[in-house]
């Protein structure tokens, strides 16, 4: 029996991403080998996620808290990938998603350093996030001296990612002395059920920055922004308007989503439709026009900007990233990974540490 083309597409496009972001290679091979129909994707991944969840809960019961956090964080990533673009059954998808949220929530206090769940006021509701302070600083709202308050990096997901997936991306920044704030924005993660995707992502970023500058455990004058995939559009787009940001990193984001629409995989188009709260693909394609850096928007980026793309990206053309870099008005670095796929997740060592070093310098941290 041949595999569903949607399954083949998911394996081909996202295999390196799964492995570089927390899925064990053997698990990836075994789980995907056993999936022939796209409709079975979520259940197959949930079954393997449960193995790691049970290990985490056993360690928790035995008070091996660090082991518990690692098992449960891995389980959360597995549950996340069980639902990532699997929007064919929303109830099934949401059940898997809530398991990801549950497992990660259990892990947060035992991570090294620990993280806390935060809820940021937005449009009458909230955006959920994880705030994590680097070693050497006190916990949320702790009494630290002004010179001890760390800068903070806001990290936003893409179309099919969520805060539970971002730990592998987060760790290099945390290790260099930045606090990290991983947030599900409109159309993402926990927020996707309440808020549709919006092209003017500067609106939620303003709400996030407004919330951050009221805290006393981070330095509100040193805030950076990072985004991956569609978030690689969201972050530079927000930086064009939100001038309180000191620096921005964008990984493989589109310049104009409508211009890339026709080359996107069917599962990606469907995920965009669902997360935009629209009824038809035609409506989704039209709505994709609102995700754009045209009309002089890219030129409004004046803060330092670091952009990354893979020359072999089959989802978002590398030329989109180059165009954004060419048009930005501030100091810009462009890294094109010649043998990199989408987000160059097949070559994460080419950019993850380099971008973390760059952001550390932009936010005034010493070299380590």
| 139 or 348, higher pLDDT | 348
Q: What is the mean pLDDT of the chain?
A: 95
| 84 or 137, higher pLDDT | 84
In whole angstroms, give the CA distance from residue 284 to residue 202.
21
Residue 1: pLDDT over 60: no
- pLDDT the model gives residue 224: 98
Fold of 5-105: de novo design (two linked rop proteins) (1.20.1440)
CA terminus-to-terminus distance, the chain: 53
How far from chain centre, in Å, is Cα 307? 15
In whole angstroms, give the CA distance from residue 189 to residue 73.
16
Residue 320: pLDDT band (50, 70, 90) is: very high
Fold of 113-362: Rossmann fold (3.40.50)
Contact yes or no for 298/332 (Cβ under 8 A)? no
- pLDDT the model gives residue 147: 54
Residue 337: pLDDT over 90: yes
Strand-pairing partners, residue 19, are: none
In whole angstroms, give the CA distance from residue 323 to residue 250.
13
- Strand locations in 276-325, DSSP E? 305-310
Give me the residue spans of the domains in the chain: 5-105, 113-362
Please list the helix, strand and coil fractions of the chain in percent, rounded to the nearest 5, in that order.
50, 15, 35
pTM of the model: 0.94
Contact yes or no for 130/108 (Cβ under 8 A)? yes
Which residues touch 217 (CB under 8 Å, ≥6 apart)?
133, 137, 138, 139, 140, 141, 142, 144, 149, 179
Mean pLDDT computed over 34-41: 92
Instruction: Give the single-character DSSP code of 292.
Output: B
């Amino acid at each position: 029996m041949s595999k569903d083309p949607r399954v083949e597409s998911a394996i081909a496009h996202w295999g390196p991403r799964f492995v570089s972001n927390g899925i064990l290679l053997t698990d990836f091979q075994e789980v995907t080998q056993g999936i022939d129909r796209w409709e079975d994707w979520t259940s197959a991944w949930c079954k393997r996620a449960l193995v790691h969840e049970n290990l985490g809960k056993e360690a928790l019961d035995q008070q091996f808290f660090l082991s518990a956090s690692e098992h449960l964080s891995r389980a959360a990533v597995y549950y996340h990938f069980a639902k990532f673009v699997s929007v064919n059954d929303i109830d099934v998808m949401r059940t898997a998603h809530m398991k990801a949220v549950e497992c990660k929530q259990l892990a947060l206090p035992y991570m090294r350093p620990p993280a806390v769940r935060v809820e940021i006021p937005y449009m009458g509701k909230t955006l959920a996030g994880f705030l994590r302070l680097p070693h050497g600083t006190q916990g949320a709202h702790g009494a630290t001296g002004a010179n001890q308050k760390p800068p903070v990096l806001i990290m936003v997901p893409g179309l099919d990612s969520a805060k539970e997936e971002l730990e592998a991306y987060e760790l290099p920044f945390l290790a260099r002395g930045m606090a990290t704030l991983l947030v599900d924005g409109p159309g993402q993660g926990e927020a996707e059920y309440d808020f549709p995707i919006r092209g003017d992502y500067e609106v939620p970023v303003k709400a996030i920055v407004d919330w951050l500058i009221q805290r006393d455990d981070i330095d509100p004058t040193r805030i950076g922004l990072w985004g991956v995939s569609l978030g690689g559009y969201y972050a530079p787009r927000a930086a064009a308007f939100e001038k309180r940001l000191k620096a921005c990193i964008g990984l493989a984001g589109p310049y104009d989503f409508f211009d890339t629409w026709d080359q996107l995989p069917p599962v990606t188009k469907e995920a965009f439709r669902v997360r935009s709260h629209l009824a038809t693909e035609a409506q989704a394609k039209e709505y994709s026009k609102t995700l754009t850096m045209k009309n002089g928007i890219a030129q409004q980026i004046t803060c330092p900007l670091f952009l990354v793309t893979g020359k072999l990206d089959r989802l978002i053309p590398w030329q989109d990233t180059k165009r954004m870099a060419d048009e930005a008005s501030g100091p810009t670095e462009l890294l094109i990974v010649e043998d990199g796929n989408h987000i160059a997740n097949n070559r994460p060592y080419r950019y993850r540490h380099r971008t973390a070093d760059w952001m550390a310098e932009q936010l005034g941290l010493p070299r380590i």
